[in-house]
Each structure stands twice: as structure tokens, then as C-alpha cells.
Amino acid sequence: MKVNLGVIKYGLALFAGMLFASGHLQAQGIVFMHNLDSALTRAKAEKKMVFVDFYTSWCVPCKVLSATIFPLPEVGSYYNSNFINCKVQCDDKGAGELIGKKYKINAYPTLMFMDAGGNTVHSVAGTPDSKGLIELGKTAQDPNRNQLAMISEWERGNRSHDFMVKYFSTLKKAYRAEKATADFEAYFKGLSKEKRLEKGVYELINIVKSAPFSAPFEFMEANKKAFYRTSGAKAVDSLIAVSYLWYLKGIHQNGQDTKDMTRFNSDMEKFRTKGYPYHDEYTMFYQVYEAKGIEDFMSRGTAFLSKYGTRNDSYTIALTQLLGNFTGRKDQGLAGIRWMEELLGRKREPKYFQAYIYILWRNHQWDKAIAVCNELKDTLASEGKPTTEMEKQIAEIKSYKARYND
């Protein structure tokens, strides 16, 4: 037999090239498509699920995930082998925005797994690390653990307390609040009064975060003394107070956005008739958001926090973050820095540092912001937690300092 050395050399070169390409693919991160319909078509052909990263251009956690987790070789190796991967930008003013609305995406990033028909199998919102992201994929692939399996189990009638805790917690973490609320209220409606008074029902109300004026919430209010005995007066009263605060805040924001405060005024009147002692406190808090301009906002915010700030640390965080959004010049929003320093003077807790860092750099107080970043970085390191995000934040603030040079 005559051997063609040219063919052999060509074959060896081709084989070597294939090995290189294979190695290159194994070493890269997740390979994403950017058209969901095409991804679903390919998933059907390859008999795989689709992994979708729903993100926006303004979402900082989305950027962190894309820059630090998706490119990792171990993550790419797992996801490229097991899924068809797709990115959907939900603020692109086009197809991505419509897809986000179709799947009711309310938080970013939302990481969703779909079958080839586009049905949701599993989803979460947030930024897991590499191990967490791989574990998330394994959960999505596990027919005994993913959301679709839990929904099927719910529909088959499993109403054991342990299962319901897991079921509603999973839906809430995935920002599927509408389904969680609808399923819980249907369950609650079928309970006798005796069953509704059980401690487990209070636990579910707390997990689902039943809204004020809903049937479960009003039952809890009407029977709170009975719940005091099983769950404690402090816990029950706190849940009621916090629920009203943020529910009405959401209604107020929607009213401002739509220029129609009818629903807010109506709900506030219903809230007033309940006779809770914190009605005036909440009224003053919402009025801060009606300020005309930064100076008015700082004046109203300072007056409110001076009177009520020590009752709820969330007041300071919420007002500081909003002020930071509208501050962008040197020392433009100094009141926010004072608010945060008063809070940290009472409780120097790391969970408050990000709001402090934000208001500092928005006021162009670069060196102070970097010092707080380093303090938080050292705290994370001492607890054995990753510091990569803080290092990126420090570098970003330094770049702003160099750019503005003020």
C-alpha cells in the first residue's frame, strides 16, 4: 500500500488544530448567544435547557457577574457542556425589554433556566460565586429539586408545612412574588379559623410577605393577640409595622411615577383608621420623597431623621441612597454623609458601609470613600469572605478621582 505523507501531515496538523481548539473551548468562560429564539431552537436540537442571564446596562451586580464569574474556565466548562446560554438585556428598548416583561423579570440579574419550549424550570435573582453558579445549574437539572418540580408537587396537593416553607421561600428568592401570593392566598382561603391561627400559618405569612389589606394580613391584624401567644408580640407587631411602611412606600412611588396619588391617598386613609401610633411617622417619611430639588430633600430628610431616625436604620439607608442618586458634584449632598456618620456612630456595622461609600464618592470625597472601602475589605478578609468586588470598587473610585481631579 502506498502511503501519502502529504495527507498524513495534513491530518496530523488538522488533529493538532482540533486539540488546540478543544483545549481553548475548555479553558474559556460561558459562551453566550444573544437571541433567545435562536437559543431555544438550538436547545431543542441538542436536547438541552437554556440558561438565560437577564440583565440591564445600569445593573452593577450584573456587571460584576459578567466580569468575574462568567469568564471562569470551570464555570464555562460546566455551562457550555450542559446548557445553551443566552444573555437578554432588559433595557434595550426592543426585544430584550419585551422578553423581560413576558417572563416578569423584576430584579437584576435574574438567572433563569428554561426548557426548549421556553417554560421556566428554575430561576434565582442575585450574583452567586463560581461554586454557587455551578450548584445552581445542577439544581436546575435535578427534577427533584428545581422550581418546576416544586410547582408540580404543589399542584399535586403537597401541603406539608416543611414543603410549603421551602416552596414559598424559593418563589420569593426567585422574585416570583405574584405566584407566591396567589398560591398562598388560595391555600389560606381554604383553612378553618382554627388552622389559620396556627404558628405555621404566621410563618408562611412572614415568608410570603402578605400585603396590608389582603385577607391573610387582615386576619393576622384582627387576631394578633392570638398570634402573640404563639409567635411573640414583638415579632408580630414588627411584621405589621414594616409591612405597612414598605407597602405604602411602593404605592407612593408608583403614584409619583404616574402622577396619580389616588390609590396612595386612599390606602393612607385606610391605614389611618387602623389607629397605629406610627401613622404620623410614616406620613412624614413619605413627604420627604415629595421634595422639590436636592436642597429641599436634604432639609426634609434631616428633619425627619432627627425626629425618627433612631427608630429604624432603614430610614437612613433609603434616604441616603436616593440622595446619592441625585448627587454628582463635590460636596453637593453633604447631608447624606452626615446621616450615615450619625448612623455609623450608633452602629458601625459593615452592612451599612456600602451606602456610606456610595454617598462619599457621589460627593467626590474620594480618599474617604477609599478608606471606608479598605475597612470593609479588611473586615471581609478577616471573615474569610472574597474581597474581589471591593478591590474592583477601590480601583473604580481611584479612576473617578483621576478623571475629575477635584
The amino acid present at 1, given as its one-letter code, is M
Q: Residue 211 has what pLDDT?
A: 96
What are the DSSP calls for 141-168, one per residue? Answer: H-TTTSHHHHHHHHHTT---HHHHHHHH
Across all residues in the chain, what is the average pLDDT? 91
| Separation in Å, CA 215 to CA 195, 222, 245, 273, 274 | 15, 11, 18, 17, 15
Share of the chain above pLDDT 70, in %: 93
Quote the CA–CA distance of 70 and 73 in Å, as a whole number. 8
DSSP 211: P
Per-residue pLDDT of 313-350, as tens digits, reads: 999 999 999 999 999 899 999 999 999 999 999 999 99
Which residues, 6 or more positions from 392, have their beta carbon under 8 angstroms from its beta carbon?
Answer: 64, 67, 68
Q: Could you tell me where the beta strands, DSSP code E, fall in 70-207?
A: 83-89, 110-114, 120-125
CATH 3.40.30.10 matches 5-152: yes
Q: Residue 27 has what pLDDT?
A: 55
Q: For residues 377-402, b (16+ Cβ closer than 10 Å) or e, as one string?
A: beebeeeeeebebbeebbeebeeebe
Which residues, 6 or more positions from 322, have their beta carbon under 8 angstroms from its beta carbon?
Answer: 289, 297
For the stretch 64-69, contacts whose Cβ atoms lie closer than 8 Å and that sit 24 or more positions apart, written own/partner, are 64/127, 64/389, 64/392, 65/109, 65/127, 67/392, 68/388, 68/389, 68/392, 69/127, 69/128, 69/129, 69/130, 69/133
∠ CA 299-238-325 to the nearest 5 degrees?
35
Which residues, 6 or more positions from 17, have their beta carbon under 8 angstroms from its beta carbon?
Answer: none
The 10 Å Cβ neighbour count of residue 4 is 9
Question: pLDDT 10s per residue in the chain (406 long)?
Answer: 333 433 333 333 333 343 333 444 445 899 999 999 999 999 999 999 999 999 999 888 898 899 889 999 999 999 999 999 999 999 999 999 999 999 999 889 999 999 999 999 999 998 888 999 999 999 999 998 899 999 999 999 999 999 999 999 999 988 889 999 999 999 999 999 999 999 999 999 999 999 999 999 999 999 999 999 999 999 999 999 999 999 999 999 999 999 999 999 999 999 999 999 999 999 999 999 999 999 999 999 999 999 999 999 999 999 999 999 999 899 999 999 999 999 999 999 999 999 999 999 999 999 999 999 999 999 999 999 888 888 988 998 999 999 987 7
List the chain domain ranges.
Answer: 5-152, 159-226
Cell triple for residue 242?
414594616
pTM of the model as a whole: 0.79
